[in-house]
């Protein structure tokens, strides 16, 4: 009997999929695009994500836990769904690929400036493939272990309380920013990952309260982002924060120990654990979609194909600005998918129920 994900494992899996290197730059985005007290923009984004989770929960409830692919194929011919499946697979693979490449470029910049980042990417992809082939239940267990290895980093914020100044927060709200719509979408993309819960329906226990688990994962992410952002605003001030590329890494550089130098490099290395879960989950989702197109191909071989494809594509964007540009474009598409796909599924379920009711009359 196939093991299922529990509520706890699901919540941690959602959090680990959402979190990653974006936590190092999110205060800068808030200050740049929203100005003073830009961290307050996290509240409306949290509410919008919660509404999206409500849509996903509605699909889960109305579809009675059925796979989204089964729901789609009950009303739409599979031949017409193949472009959708291929598009989703390509989108999710590319997002995972670019998140991993972004991590490698920053890691190279911090620790190994003369080393080709694709060497690190090759090792990263091998580790990801080993985890990916173990199945979603083992991915969930691994994410729980990795959670224990990275969550302690959040408690380092206590170190900065002595240098935190409320005067740097200022009494003004959302003054001095620009291009707010673009900024809103970029910060919203930092919360993405929860939408992959659409593919978890067949893999959770019947007694798992999936909507609560997804919401719990989102809540942990929001609290983490809010704590990091508030400390950053009170430590740097919004004007300095807006001009700093990776403010949280600079923040960590202030921590000094008598026997260790460059602690920020060590701390950044721990973020590898959340990055690898993000990458694995997006490629896992891509593989689930691809399997509907090529069901006769073993799951492990289709996973190998996606990992190799992601590695080859990662050669193309070779500078940080190019990676960020690609990633912003794809995450905007993913935001549309995160709302559009649940709405489509709800419409299909309701229409199917209406047809069945008329048939029985």
**Is residue 40, in this structure, part of any structural domain at all?**
yes
**Is residue 347, in this structure, part of any structural domain at all?**
no
**Is residue 168, in this structure, part of any structural domain at all?**
yes
Q: What is the pLDDT of residue 357?
A: 60
Q: Contact, 303 vs 30, CB < 8 A?
A: no
**Is residue 357, in this structure, part of any structural domain at all?**
no
**CATH number for the domain including 116?**
1.10.4160.10
Q: Contact, 252 vs 264, CB < 8 A?
A: yes
Q: What is the pLDDT of residue 308?
A: 94
Rg (CA), the chain: 21
> What are 7's two structure tokens?
């509520």
Q: Contact, 60 vs 209, CB < 8 A?
A: no
Give the C-alpha separation, 50 to 65, whole Å.
20
Q: What is the pLDDT of residue 194?
A: 93
- pTM greater than 0.75 (yes/no): yes
**Is residue 353, in this structure, part of any structural domain at all?**
no
Q: What is the pLDDT of residue 352?
A: 82
Q: What is the pLDDT of residue 12?
A: 94
Measured at the alpha carbon of residue 45, what is the angle toward residues 33 and 142, in degrees to the nearest 5? Answer: 110
DSSP H helices in the chain: 7-18, 26-34, 42-62, 68-75, 78-111, 117-132, 136-150, 180-189, 210-236, 238-242, 247-252, 263-270, 272-291, 299-313, 320-360
361 residues of the chain, pLDDT tens digit each: 467 888 899 999 999 999 888 888 899 999 999 988 889 999 999 999 999 999 999 999 998 888 999 999 888 888 899 999 999 999 999 999 999 999 999 888 887 888 888 998 999 999 999 999 998 999 999 999 999 888 888 888 888 888 888 888 887 888 887 888 999 999 999 999 999 999 999 998 776 688 899 999 999 999 999 999 999 888 888 888 888 888 888 888 787 766 666 667 777 888 889 999 999 999 999 999 999 999 999 999 999 999 999 999 999 988 888 999 999 999 999 999 999 999 999 999 998 877 766 665 5
Range of the domain at 165: 7-341
Compute the residue count for the chain: 361
**Is residue 334, in this structure, part of any structural domain at all?**
yes
Give the C-alpha separation, 77 to 294, whole Å.
16
Domain count, the chain: 1
**Is residue 355, in this structure, part of any structural domain at all?**
no
Give the C-alpha separation, 30 to 250, whole Å.
16
**Is residue 349, in this structure, part of any structural domain at all?**
no
Q: What is the pLDDT of residue 195?
A: 94
């Amino acid at each position: 009997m196939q093991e299922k994900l529990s509520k706890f494992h699901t919540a941690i899996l959602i959090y680990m999929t959402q979190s990653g290197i974006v936590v190092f730059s999110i205060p800068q985005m808030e200050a740049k695009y929203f100005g003073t007290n830009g961290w307050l923009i996290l509240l409306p984004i949290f509410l919008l994500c919660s509404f999206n989770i409500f849509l996903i929960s509605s699909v889960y409830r109305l579809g009675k836990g059925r796979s989204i692919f089964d729901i789609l194929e009950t009303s739409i011919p599979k031949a017409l769904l193949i472009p959708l499946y291929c598009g989703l697979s390509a989108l999710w693979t590319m997002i995972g690929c670019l998140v991993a490449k972004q991590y490698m470029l920053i890691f190279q910049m911090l620790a190994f400036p003369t080393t080709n980042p694709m060497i690190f990417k090759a090792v990263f992809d091998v580790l990801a493939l080993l985890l990916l082939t173990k199945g979603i239940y083992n991915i969930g267990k691994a994410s729980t272990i990795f959670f224990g290895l990275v969550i302690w980093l959040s408690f380092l914020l206590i170190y900065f309380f002595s240098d935190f100044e409320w005067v740097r927060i200022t009494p003004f709200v959302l003054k001095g920013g620009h291009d707010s719509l673009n900024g809103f979408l970029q910060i919203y993309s930092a919360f993405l990952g929860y939408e992959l819960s659409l593919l978890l329906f067949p893999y959770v226990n019947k007694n798992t309260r999936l909507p609560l688990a997804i919401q719990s994962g989102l809540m942990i992410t929001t609290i983490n982002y809010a704590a990091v952002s508030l400390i950053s605003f009170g430590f740097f001030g919004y004007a300095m924060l807006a001009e700093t590329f990776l403010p949280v890494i600079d923040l960590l550089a202030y921590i000094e120990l008598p026997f260790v130098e460059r602690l920020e490099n060590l701390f950044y290395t721990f973020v590898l654990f959340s990055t690898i879960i993000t990458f694995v989950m997006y490629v896992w989702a891509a593989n689930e979609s691809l399997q509907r197109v090529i069901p006769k191909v073993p799951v492990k071989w289709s996973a190998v194909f996606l990992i190799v494809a992601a590695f080859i594509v990662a050669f193309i964007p070779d500078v940080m600005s190019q990676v960020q540009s690609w990633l912003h474009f794809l995450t905007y598409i993913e935001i549309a998918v995160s709302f559009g796909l649940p709405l489509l599924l709800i419409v299909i379920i309701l229409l199917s129920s209406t047809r069945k009711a008329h048939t029985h009359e």
